[in-house]
Chains A and B, each alone.
Chain A
Amino acid sequence: EDQVTQSPEALRLQEGESSSLNCSYTVSGLRGLFWYRQDPGKGPEFLFTLYSAGEEKEKERLKATLTKKESFLHITAPKPEDSATYLCAVQAPTLTGGGNKLTFGTGTQLKVEL
């Protein structure tokens, strides 16, 4: 069974204080690791896809990296508007019906304060 574990569960940062979120995973037939941002009462919003160990992607203050067992989301000099829950998901083949599905972690709830 595919498993995704995220840590920490919650993180409180001061504005400008850089940090990293962790996502460790076990999956059969990984077809990509995805990072999403989720604001309260909304659906997940896509951030990054990583496909192979060593791959890195950047977007503004966020940088995602991938190894064979885990992924990190690095946040550099965060601002209050970065406050959200960050979800990690692995994509793997569905057992029936063809196609793929996402298995999510429980997320890291980030709060950035002035």
Chain B
Amino acid sequence: DAMVIQNPRYQVTQFGKPVTLSCSQTLNHNVMYWYQQKSSQAPKLLFHYYDKDFNNEADTPDNFQSRRPNTSFCFLDIRSPGLGDAAMYLCATSDLRGRGDGYTFGSGTRLTVV
């Protein structure tokens, strides 16, 4: 089945040590999103790619960067993780039809910072 796959499912990193999270899709969707979800909080949009165009949310810290080398892959880079960056990171794609079932979410990567 076509889907959105995030790797790894669980990531433990040291305080200040750069870490990269991966997302791949087989849906050929134009748009890819990265959301941060802390415990008992709403998923919060960090940034999205519309094709190759990168769009940052105004309040996303500079510590977070992203790369989309091709349609299928998107990476989230955290340059210097702090304890406050521990969260579930969700990748999603959209087919631009504007329907709820047009968004597909990955299972997430749970990041722990020690």
Contacts and interface: CB of A to CB of B under 8 A. Distances in A.
Interface of A: 4, 9, 31-32, 34-36, 41-49, 87, 91, 94, 96-107, 109
B45 interface: yes
B111 to A, nearest CB: 13
Given A97-B48, A104-B43, A105-B42, A46 B100 contact: yes
A46 B105 CA distance: 9
Nearest to B47: A97
A103 B33 CA distance: 12
Contacts of B40: 9, 106-107, 109
Interface in B83-111: 88, 90, 92, 94, 96, 98-101, 103, 105-108, 110
Of all A-B residue pairs in the complex, the 5 with the closest CB atoms, nearest first, are: A43-B105, A49-B100, A97-B55, A34-B100, A104-B42
A106 B42 contact: yes
Contacts, number: 80
19 contacts: A31-B98, A34-B100, A35-B100, A41-B107, A44-B105, A46-B103, A47-B100, A49-B101, A87-B43, A94-B50, A97-B50, A98-B50, A98-B53, A99-B48, A99-B96, A102-B33, A102-B45, A105-B42, A106-B41
Contacts of B54: 97
B31 interface: yes
Nearest to B56: A96
B54 to A, nearest CB: 8
B48 A4 contact: no
A84 to B, nearest CB: 14
A101 B31 CA distance: 10
Contacts of A36: 100
Given A34-B100, A44-B90, A105-B42, 17 more contacts: A32-B100, A35-B100, A36-B100, A43-B90, A43-B107, A45-B105, A46-B101, A48-B100, A49-B100, A49-B101, A97-B55, A98-B53, A99-B30, A101-B33, A103-B42, A104-B44, A106-B42
